[in-house]
């Protein structure tokens, strides 16, 4: 499996790839490959697979492996691929991470261990969890700091893990007041913080860029639109980036607040990238009026997704 020739530190737009299903909710691997091709053509600097926005929580272990192998073989080193390997059990997360590295992953993304609404562990156990994963691999680990885990990870604790655990060096911050946390993390961690990143569909992207974010992990429907924000920002043209952010914010907001993970699939189906926008039950498809609103907002902006497959 070829690895990407993009060198670290990784930066830019690394959107989440949806897991593509057919009309019956089974894996559509040909559609999966088309989704990947579109996302690369749309300017993604890299990709992330098997994340929450990929519906990783509805996949069997065998299906995870099929998606992993299909995507990494098809990407064939064109861009770096981050693989989400989250699991509550330390050794299973470590084994998943080893499997991802062997398949050609550039990085793994891992949430702190959690289960349901109440099963959590303390800082010492979290530290040991990430140590176990770090010692099993030689590629970077991105800690996903998101509300879904229900786990408080202070900036000081994250910085300490970056200093003490060899491969813990990327951080996707998508909690309330993300920009303030990014600033504190960078100040406390210094050079150990290789990749402070933005998440949550870029809803706080400008504030996070101003705070020092170097990467954006967004939804997969319009990487070309997100590039219009981050490219001028990193080139020192903040006013241009802010203007682009204002243009794209209605779509970013609509995805984040009205549609969630179904937005990407609806946009891809509308543009002929994939044949079905199926989400796996018990997840529900977008209501027709919500879907119409999404397509109307996107149409005014003209992202590549609406014409790529036509």
11 is catalytic: no
Q: What are phi and psi of 108, to 5 degrees?
A: -115, 150
For residue 70, give every residue at least 6 positions away whose Cβ sits within 8 Å of its Cβ, in sequence order, or none: 29, 32, 33
* Residue-level pLDDT at 1: 59
Q: Is 90 exceeded by the pLDDT of residue 6?
A: no
What are the pLDDT digits (tens) for 135-173? 999 999 999 999 999 999 999 999 999 999 999 999 999
Q: What angle do CA 74, 28, 23 make, to 5 degrees?
A: 160
How far is Cα 191 from Cα 29, in angstroms, rounded to an integer? Answer: 40
The catalytic residue among 11, 33, 172, 265 is 172
What are the pLDDT digits (tens) for 80-138? 999 999 999 999 999 999 999 999 999 999 999 999 999 999 999 999 999 999 999 99
What are the pLDDT digits (tens) for 223-233? 999 999 999 99
Least confident range of 3-7, 8-12, 204-208, 218-222: 3-7
């Amino acid at each position: 499996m070829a690895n990407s020739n993009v060198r670290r530190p990784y930066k830019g737009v690394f959107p989440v790839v949806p897991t593509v299903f057919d009309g019956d909710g089974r894996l559509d691997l040909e559609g999966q490959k088309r989704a990947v091709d579109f996302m690369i053509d749309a300017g993604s600097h890299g990709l992330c697979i098997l994340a929450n926005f990929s519906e990783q929580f509805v996949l069997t272990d065998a299906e995870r492996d099929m998606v992993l192998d299909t995507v990494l073989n098809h990407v064939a080193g064109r861009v770096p691929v981050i693989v989400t390997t989250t699991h509550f059990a330390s050794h299973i997360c470590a084994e998943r991470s080893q499997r991802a590295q062997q398949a050609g992953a550039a990085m793994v993304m891992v949430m702190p261990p959690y289960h349901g609404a109440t099963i959590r562990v303390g800082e010492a156990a979290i530290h040991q969890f990430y140590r176990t994963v770090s010692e099993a691999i030689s590629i970077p680990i991105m800690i996903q700091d998101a509300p879904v885990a229900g786990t408080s990870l202070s900036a000081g604790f994250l910085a300490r893990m970056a200093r003490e655990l060899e491969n813990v060096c990327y951080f996707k911050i998508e909690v309330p007041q993300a920009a303030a946390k990014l600033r504190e993390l960078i100040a406390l961690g210094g050079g150990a913080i290789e990749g402070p990143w933005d998440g949550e569909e870029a809803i706080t992207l400008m504030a996070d860029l101003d705070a020092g974010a170097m990467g954006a992990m967004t939804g997969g429907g319009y990487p070309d639109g997100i590039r219009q924000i981050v490219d001028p920002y990193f080139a020192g043209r903040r006013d241009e980036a802010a203007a682009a952010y204002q243009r794209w914010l209605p779509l970013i907001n609509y995805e984040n607040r009205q549609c969630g993970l179904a937005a990407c699939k609806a946009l891809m189906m509308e543009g002929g990238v994939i044949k079905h926008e199926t989400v796996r039950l018990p997840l529900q498809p977008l209501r027709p009026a919500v879907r119409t609103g999404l397509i109307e907002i996107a149409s005014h902006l003209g992202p590549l997704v609406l014409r790529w497959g036509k």
